[in-house]
Amino acid sequence: MNVGWLGLGRLGLTCALALAKHGGHQVFGYDPSPRAQQILNGSAPSPEEAGIEELLNGARLLVMPSPADVVAASDGIVMVSVQTPHDPRYGGEKPIVDEPVDFEYGYLIQAVRDVAQAAEQQGKQITIVIISTVLPGTTRAHLAPLCGPNVCLVYGPYFIAMSTTVQDFLHPEFVLLGSDSPGAIADVADLYRTVHDRPIHAVSIESAELTKVAYNCFISMKIVFANMVMEICQKTGADCDAVADGLALATDRITSPAYMRGGMGDSGACHPRDNQAMSWLANRLDLSVDLMGYVSNAREQQSAWLADLVEHWHRMSGLPITLLGKAYKPNVSLVNGSAGLLLAEQLRDRGLDVEHHDPFADGNITDEALTPAVYVVTTRHDCFTGYDIPAGSVVIDPHGYMPDRPGVTTIRVGRK
């Protein structure tokens, strides 16, 4: 297959070479800098990437004079790995400044504009695969308006670490593809299938954009947590490697997909109080950062945000508020540290009347007792899916599991 590629910097050049060699494709690339051609000619050193010399040997990559030439030579897929830089003050090499900023999208916008215009001028159907890192909403707001009827957009970023780009490209954990077009996703997935058989995660454009940056930010949070443990160990005599080795054995909850779904806040007899105790210890040891104090405050602020949503629908609908679930886990009566009880307290602190019912803590409720209300599902009890919520009600479901019912407005928080 003839594949187009715009952006032949360190990541783009390496991945284009890997796709060409291991997928058996001919890649036609473009970059405004002459460096890519110089690397291919041997007149400039190659990037410091393990395995790149093998890729350069007999490389099936031709650098073209313009983006239009790339479009003309391709069989319909053009990859775009153009930089979306930050001002150097935001790169991590210097202390952060007061006001955070978005990425700089000028280079990416120009690249997409060039490809889209060429596709329209040539009357050619093109799928543009955006690899560059962007924030959620960027593709829809800034890139889609540049594209005419001949262009389909797919947001497909890579999860790659510099110096191991070849290995990461050939053996990814998964492939992320976001688009409004299932056909475009299938075409791009088929292209990657020539290189590997890793899982394809197909989602909306916005979900793909967020998955990319959330992935990186989650790693940053893990590092901050690990360094907090290291600092405590330095000040208490514990060993941070021994602690990390123990945590790594917890593959059911810690190093797993557990607790990764949006829902109610952290609850139970241990977690909220442990966070508070660790916050006290942070102050006692004069730690550089009170991470767990921040986590405790974040839990309450996120609950307050949910209270805002409940209050909004209460005032919009004029309906009373009923919380469903006091327990902190499904299908039991345990209420210690319950996020549902916290939400009820926050709503009442606003002067709102709140009914609160839990079938395991309070006993079953009959369908006849259910009247139109704003129902907030604060515990994921299985039985709630069978409740005959009356028409005219609003259901706010942070867990995303309640079924649709005729005449009932169901808000699955954070979900389409």
Two structure tokens written together for 347: 């709503």
Q: Which CATH class is domain 2-205?
A: alpha beta
Question: For the chain, what are the domain ranges?
Answer: 2-205, 298-412
Q: Do residues 310 and 377 make contact, with C-beta atoms less than 8 angstroms apart?
A: no
Residue 128's beta-bridge partner residues?
A: 78, 153
Q: What are phi and psi of 375, to 5 degrees?
A: -95, 130
In CATH terms, are 2-205 and 298-412 the same topology?
A: yes
List per-residue pLDDT tens for the chain, 416 residues long: 999 999 999 999 999 999 999 999 999 999 999 999 999 999 999 999 999 999 999 999 999 999 999 999 999 999 999 999 887 777 787 777 778 889 999 999 999 999 999 999 999 999 999 999 999 999 999 999 999 999 999 999 999 998 999 999 999 999 999 999 999 999 999 999 999 999 999 999 999 999 999 999 999 999 999 999 999 999 999 999 999 999 999 999 998 989 889 999 999 988 999 999 999 999 999 999 999 999 999 999 999 999 999 999 999 999 999 999 999 999 999 999 999 999 999 999 999 999 999 999 998 888 888 999 999 999 999 999 999 999 999 999 999 999 999 999 999 999 98
Residue 6's beta-bridge partner residues?
A: 30, 80
Report CA 226 to chain centroid distance, whole Å.
Answer: 21
The pTM of the full predicted model, rounded to 2 decimals, is: 0.88
Superfamily of domain 298-412: NAD(P)-binding Rossmann-like Domain (3.40.50.720)
Please name the residue ranges forming H helices in 175-290: 182-193, 205-236, 240-248, 271-284
271-326 per-position pLDDT tens digit = 999 999 999 999 999 999 999 999 999 999 999 999 999 999 999 999 999 999 99
